[in-house]
Chain A
Amino acid sequence: MAEDLTKQIDSSTEFFDIICSSKDCAPEMKKKLLRSKRASAVFYPKNKNEVRKILMNYKCVIRGGGSSYLGQVIPDHDEVIIDMSRFDSVKIYNDYAIIGGGVPFSDIIKKTAQENKELKSFPLSYRSATPAGFLSCGGRAGIGSPENGYFSENIDEIEVVTPNSEILRIKGTEIDDFSGSEGLLGAITEMKIKIQPKKIRHLHMYGFDSRIDLERFFEETKDIRFAYFFNKIAADRLNDKWKLKTVPAYTMICQDLNDKDDYRREYREDLAKRGISFIYPKWILELESKRMNMLDFMIKDSRNNIHIADGIGSVDKTLHALRHVEKHNLPAYGMLGKDEILIRIYADCKDFLDKQKFLMIMDNIYRSIEPASKGRFFRSYISGKDKKHLQVTINKYNVPGHLNLRQNLNKNILVKKIISPLLISMGGKLW
């Protein structure tokens, strides 16, 4: 019989502690699937030996930041939860950091910033997600990924406590095996991740009178890191809020175009010569002077404008976002959410992407999702009657940012870099 560890290791069997840690995924999911499911206890281990003891004695579910929309780590058979939040150490070195498995990305970002360093890539859900949780739940791409590669590529080493009480240190490509493993292969207690000197980010906002201008802009600009789109409705709201003088038909904000001011000025002059209208309002300059991250701005402003940014997999506020998108007819891309897992890729195929190419990608998505369905909850949605809800809608005048940015890349890269995070987040396999 399993040893009772509740007195040896800090733990809780209180109803609210259990229920709060057991029900992390979005409410609609909970209602359907997990109405009566919960763990039998929550453990709060402080070191790897405690984790090892728990793993040896109980059926476990390992919990990181609890921000995963699909709830990959939700107990459904009276398991115990291992809450990793007390693994919160962050040690910064010259070009790497050693971090605990349960520290949220936001804490790492702040501590690296104190040393004038930054993470190479991190997810959009950085405020609550943890590195170990992000990796385990199959999170791959995020902010910084187009520049520095997948999140797993920026990890040097991980320390894993396996269920058969081994403590392993995994390096190199083997780390990929733990991506999407949902904690089944063990608990990640420590990670060594790459960091780099902090860069100053600049924000740019451009407006375009016509879609042709916008398209031309994309063709000619190759160093855009992130782009966010607003349609007329959203731009109108921006106008109300920030009192912009002109509201263009299409407004795009992009980040990190280039660090040098001269370059930007030249670039703007270039654009002006070509007859591309743009706005560069005061508030953007203010944001620059405050060194405010655009993401912060976006999150603050999320009531008005919806943006599913880089890394579709980390759609932690999907539900909220989806409602707004539908209500206000805002542009969005790569969304998943709502009661019935519904994939919607909004795209204007004619202007931005070859229609056949797009449909081919969608074909791949279908084929990859159905047989794989690694995520146990996703499987229950796909199989059976809910299958009919899987659909693709192609909306006119909505721009898929990811696809659009990389239209000059070949299909394989496009699929690997853009579609795979979406699939992994849903429990699908890479092809």
Chain B
Amino acid sequence: MVKIDVIKLNKDYQRRHQVRQVKEKFDKVIDRFKDSEYIEEFKKCVQCGYCRNTSAAYHIHKKESESHPGKMFIIKNFMKKDNKKMILDTVYHMTLAGYAENVCPAGIRHEFAWNELRKDFYSLAKETYPKLKEALENLNDPEKNNIFGKKKSTKFNWMSEIEHRRSDFLYYVGSNDLLNNRDRVRRMLWILNKFSIPYTISKFETDSGYIAKLAGDQDTEEKCAKRLKDLVGDLLFKKIIVSCPFEFRRLRDIFDDEHVEVIHIMEIISNKLKILGSKKVRHIKARCAYLDNFYLSEYYPSSMPREILRNIGCDIVEKSHSKQESFSSGAGDCFELVFPYDAEQIAKIHLKEAQDAKAEYLVTSDSFAQKLLSDTAKKTKSKVKVIDLSALVVKAIKWAV
């Protein structure tokens, strides 16, 4: 008869149990992503490819690994702690424009998923991409507080020449326009004055930190949000007018729970032009293609900028990728910071599409995109002129009664 060594069996069982416990803990550490909510979003993807054309990076080389479905596949199957370096480019070599959400039949929250994922990758990204690190250090520097590395004091040192009224409305200009595109700010202020919109410009304006959000830098993002909340709360502003789509989206997120309304200047222009009527406006007879911005199209219908253009007498032509199925300009996002050459390639594609549609002007509402596209147009000697929507509006209503 076989004797059963109960003590030995018990020991074996305990040892196996301990090993299992250790293994479970180890697995948890290794694959901590698996517990994340956003990973579920990646798992939903069935690689139908509907969103392929909305991936800006895909249009450069037409490689599947650079498209949204390809990236989703990579994240789903290869995201482990050891592979972080391997898939870092997959996470950052893309724009976070959420056009993919418009066409996704599986209802994946693309923007949310990628944003959350970048939080996990941020520390590694900072080490790997020096330009991103520099930009965010500049943002954190109290003397600079912008990603361009320019001194904070230069933001408003030219402001004395501009008259502004005091009101409950804050015109939040944004660091990019204040430092790099002052003509645009002048135009915006001119438009606000022309339409008799009261506004205040605060010289204590701080950066909204949208780039920190896009890069996954949670600390900086929160700090920036807090500073802005304090500013708006202290001065009791009820409404914020924004002219940059990135800032618009960021401010919408920040003041989501507060009783502060955030509107884009496009809304004001659209409403006022309707009241003004097309007869009182000088007609600009030009064929224009509009470059959609996801952050604006999320809150305003894509027809709104087109209506504005129509009201000032422009002929609208559509690029082959436009409206809901457009793709990002490649500008403004940290994509441009990290991969400037590729951002230029995307700009080239947009210009080519506009040229194919026989457009004279490629109109944007985004100053980042305007800069990138106009620089690229100059380099490539493109026939298409890149222009800001506000510039066309100013041209049209300058002589209006």
Cβ 8 A contact of A16, one of B53, B90, B325: B90
Segment among A103-111, A169-177, A264-272, A400-408 that sits at the interface with chain B: A103-111
The answer to whether A26 and B62 touch across the interface, beta carbons within 8 angstroms, is: no
CB neighbors of A among B49-96 (8 A): 49-50, 52-53, 61-65, 67, 69-70, 73-74, 76-77, 87, 90
Residue of B nearest to A113 (CB): B318
The answer to whether A104 and B52 touch across the interface, beta carbons within 8 angstroms, is: yes
The answer to whether A317 and B46 touch across the interface, beta carbons within 8 angstroms, is: yes
The answer to whether B62 and A320 touch across the interface, beta carbons within 8 angstroms, is: no
The answer to whether B62 and A86 touch across the interface, beta carbons within 8 angstroms, is: yes
Known A65-B49, A114-B357, A317-B46; contact A44-B63, beta-carbon cutoff 8 A: yes
The 7 closest A-B pairs by CB, nearest first: A128-B49, A20-B70, A20-B64, A127-B50, A85-B62, A20-B65, A16-B65
Interface membership of A417, Cβ < 8 A = no
In the complex, which residues of chain B have a beta carbon less than 8 angstroms from the beta carbon of A260? none
Segment among B5-13, B101-109, B167-175, B240-248 that sits at the interface with chain A: B101-109
In the complex, which residues of chain B have a beta carbon less than 8 angstroms from the beta carbon of A114? 317-318, 320, 357
The answer to whether B46 and A299 touch across the interface, beta carbons within 8 angstroms, is: no
Interface membership of B48, Cβ < 8 A = yes
The answer to whether B62 and A19 touch across the interface, beta carbons within 8 angstroms, is: no
The answer to whether A303 and B107 touch across the interface, beta carbons within 8 angstroms, is: yes
Residue of A nearest to B102 (CB): A300
CA distance A302 to B108 in the complex (A): 12
Cβ 8 A contact of B47, one of A12, A16, A44, A66: A66
The answer to whether A107 and B105 touch across the interface, beta carbons within 8 angstroms, is: no
The answer to whether B52 and A128 touch across the interface, beta carbons within 8 angstroms, is: yes
CB neighbors of B among A1-58 (8 A): 12, 14, 16-17, 19-21, 23-27, 42, 44
The answer to whether B49 and A320 touch across the interface, beta carbons within 8 angstroms, is: no
In the complex, which residues of chain A have a beta carbon less than 8 angstroms from the beta carbon of B69? 66
Listed residue (B62, B67, B69, B318) with the most chain A CB atoms within 10 angstroms of its CB:
B62
The answer to whether B63 and A23 touch across the interface, beta carbons within 8 angstroms, is: no
A50 to chain B, nearest CB (A): 14
A229 to chain B, nearest CB (A): 18
The answer to whether B48 and A128 touch across the interface, beta carbons within 8 angstroms, is: yes
A2 to chain B, nearest CB (A): 23
Report the interface size class on chain A: 35 or more
In the complex, which residues of chain B have a beta carbon less than 8 angstroms from the beta carbon of A23? 47, 73
CA distance A125 to B76 in the complex (A): 23
Interface membership of A182, Cβ < 8 A = no
Interface membership of A159, Cβ < 8 A = no
In the complex, which residues of chain A have a beta carbon less than 8 angstroms from the beta carbon of B320? 107, 110-111, 114
In the complex, which residues of chain B have a beta carbon less than 8 angstroms from the beta carbon of A310? none
A34 to chain B, nearest CB (A): 12
Cβ 8 A contact of A125, one of B48, B64, B77: B48
The answer to whether B105 and A320 touch across the interface, beta carbons within 8 angstroms, is: yes
Apart from the given pairs A65-B52, A114-B320, A320-B46, 15 other A-B contacts in the complex at a CB distance below 8 Å = A12-B63, A16-B74, A16-B87, A16-B90, A20-B63, A20-B65, A20-B74, A24-B49, A27-B46, A44-B62, A67-B48, A128-B49, A128-B50, A302-B105, A320-B48
Residue of A nearest to B50 (CB): A127
The answer to whether B50 and A44 touch across the interface, beta carbons within 8 angstroms, is: no
A84 to chain B, nearest CB (A): 10
Residue of A nearest to B325 (CB): A106
CA distance A302 to B107 in the complex (A): 8
Residue of B nearest to A66 (CB): B49
The answer to whether A66 and B64 touch across the interface, beta carbons within 8 angstroms, is: yes
Q: Which A residues lie at the B interface, using CB under 8 A?
A: 12, 14, 16-17, 19-21, 23-27, 42, 44, 65-67, 83, 85-86, 88, 104, 106-107, 110-111, 114, 125, 127-128, 299-300, 302-303, 316-317, 319-320
In the complex, which residues of chain A have a beta carbon less than 8 angstroms from the beta carbon of B77? 19
The answer to whether A127 and B103 touch across the interface, beta carbons within 8 angstroms, is: yes
In the complex, which residues of chain B have a beta carbon less than 8 angstroms from the beta carbon of A26? 46-47
CA distance A111 to B65 in the complex (A): 26
Cβ 8 A contact of B106, one of A65, A127, A320: A320
B93 to chain A, nearest CB (A): 11
The answer to whether B61 and A44 touch across the interface, beta carbons within 8 angstroms, is: yes
Known A16-B90, A106-B325, A302-B105; contact A67-B63, beta-carbon cutoff 8 A: no
What are 28 A-to-B residue pairs whose CB atoms are below 8 Å? A12-B63, A14-B65, A16-B87, A17-B64, A19-B74, A20-B63, A20-B73, A21-B65, A23-B47, A24-B47, A24-B49, A26-B46, A44-B61, A65-B49, A83-B62, A83-B64, A104-B53, A106-B325, A110-B318, A111-B320, A127-B49, A127-B50, A299-B105, A302-B107, A317-B48, A317-B105, A320-B105, A320-B106
CA distance A114 to B44 in the complex (A): 34
CB neighbors of A among B342-398 (8 A): 357
CA distance A125 to B69 in the complex (A): 15
CA distance A14 to B320 in the complex (A): 30
CA distance A42 to B65 in the complex (A): 11
Listed residue (B46, B90, B103, B325) with the most chain A CB atoms within 10 angstroms of its CB:
B46
B318 to chain A, nearest CB (A): 7
B357 to chain A, nearest CB (A): 7
Residue of B nearest to A26 (CB): B46
The answer to whether B46 and A319 touch across the interface, beta carbons within 8 angstroms, is: yes
CA distance A111 to B322 in the complex (A): 12
In the complex, which residues of chain A have a beta carbon less than 8 angstroms from the beta carbon of B317? 114
CA distance A303 to B63 in the complex (A): 29
B91 to chain A, nearest CB (A): 12
In the complex, which residues of chain B have a beta carbon less than 8 angstroms from the beta carbon of A319? 46
Cβ 8 A contact of A17, one of B48, B65, B87: B65
In the complex, which residues of chain B have a beta carbon less than 8 angstroms from the beta carbon of A317? 46, 48, 105-106
The answer to whether A316 and B48 touch across the interface, beta carbons within 8 angstroms, is: yes
Residue of A nearest to B107 (CB): A303
